[in-house]
Amino acid sequence: MRIGRFELPTAAMLAPMAGVTDRPFRVLARRFGAALAASEMITSDVRLWSSAKSRRRMDHTGEPSPRAVQLAGADPAALAEAARRNVELGADIIDINMGCPAKKVCNVLCGSALLTDEPLIGRILDAVVHAVNVPVTLKTRTGWDHEHRNAANVARIAEASGIAALVIHGRTRADFYTGSAEYDTIRSIKDSVRIPVIANGDVDSPQKARDVIDFTRADAVMIGRAAHGEPWIFRDVNAYLATEKKSLPLSRGARRDIILEHLDSLYAFYGEDTGVRVARKHLSWYLAKLQHGPDIRRELMAAENSSLQFALTQRGLNAWADCAAAA
């Protein structure tokens, strides 16, 4: 599929997730075949960009193109200005967030709260599309709640505004992340517009990706929580979509090396204290996904510096990998 001038080589993308899709994780996901990996959500209020968190979210050093940046806000002019500045900083694609269900976002009429004001949606999309010379995409939900599903209207507004592609998370804002994704809604939206549609929600395996694309006729799928602790899922999904055959699983040694490399990149990106804290959640996800993985979670969560955390991880994963090699 194409997003503006960019021809994407695969049909699996990484969903932007606050606190997860930092630059180290995006680079890792892209290495394993994610066609696109948007940044964590960045506020459109440029006055808040001086914080370390915002500066890190706008850091694309070493990140492969196309580099996508997701923006959140409710003021058309502010979003347009934020988009222009991020393009100057290296963004190749601007994504507008109208899907985040978090209360702190919705309480200031951002994220999925925008679904309650269709005229404002139109003004925002028009402003951002005309502000930059790169493709603009939109990520949204099926509606505010089950009585107000208006994603089909939003899709038509997006297409008329010049949005280059549309990501639909198959849940309402009221659903947050519970229940099952509404693939029938995504299918009806795909039938109603000519721009690419990407299906998001509950895609957690290669077979599920195939089933969702076949049912919705979406151009691609976006994977979120299933990538936690398993960034190589994009490799497996893309292989299955291309051949309908499962790829050979990565060896234990290969997975060990990926995890250790990820730790190194987190320490380098965040520094000592924050790097250790961020690494804890990733290590917890990795250990939960490793079959017969080492029982070292408690030790890793207690480690207070990167040297100890890395050494404990390396020792535990070496024993785990050696066990398989000796079997």
324, pLDDT greater than 80: no
CATH number at residue 81: 3.20.20.70
**Over residues 178-199, mean pLDDT:** 96
Q: Same domain for 184 and 281? A: no
**Over residues 86-105, mean pLDDT:** 86
Query: In the beta sheet, which residues pair with residue 307?
Result: none
Residue after which a domain boundary falls, among 243, 264, 289: 243
Q: Same domain for 217 and 272? A: no
Q: What is the pLDDT of residue 203?
A: 98
Q: Same domain for 285 and 227? A: no
96, pLDDT greater than 80: yes
Q: Same domain for 78 and 16? A: yes
122, pLDDT greater than 60: yes
- pLDDT band for position 105 (cuts 50, 70, 90): low
Residue after which a domain boundary falls, among 224, 243, 262: 243
The pLDDT tens digits of the residues spanning 32-56 come to 999 999 999 999 999 889 888 889 9
List Cα–Cα distances, 182 to 11, 51, 116, 238, in angstroms: 20, 37, 19, 23
Residue 100 a catalytic site member: yes
Q: Same domain for 291 and 261? A: yes
Q: Same domain for 198 and 57? A: yes
- CB environment 83-117: b (16+ within 10 A), e (fewer): bbbbbeeebbbbbbbbbbbeeebbeeebbbbbbbe
d(CA 3, CA 318): 42
Q: Same domain for 288 and 182? A: no
* Domain assignment of residue 99, given as a range: 2-243
Q: Same domain for 237 and 260? A: no
110, pLDDT greater than 80: no
Residue after which a domain boundary falls, among 176, 209, 243: 243
Q: Same domain for 195 and 303? A: no
d(CA 275, CA 309): 10
Give the position of tokens 């694609």. Answer: 93
d(CA 192, CA 185): 11
101, pLDDT greater than 90: no
Catalytic one of 100, 106, 110, 323: 100
Please report, as a single letter, which amino acid is at residue 177.
Answer: Y
Q: What is the mean pLDDT of the chain?
A: 94
Q: What is the pLDDT of residue 138?
A: 97
Q: What is the pLDDT of residue 174?
A: 87
Q: What is the pLDDT of residue 82?
A: 96
Range with the poorest average pLDDT among 43-57, 217-231, 239-253, 257-271: 43-57
> Could you give the number of structural domains in the chain?
2
Q: What is the pLDDT of residue 109?
A: 59
Q: What is the pLDDT of residue 113?
A: 86
Percent of the chain with pLDDT over 70: 96
Q: Same domain for 86 and 110? A: yes
Contact 161, 129 (CB under 8 A): yes
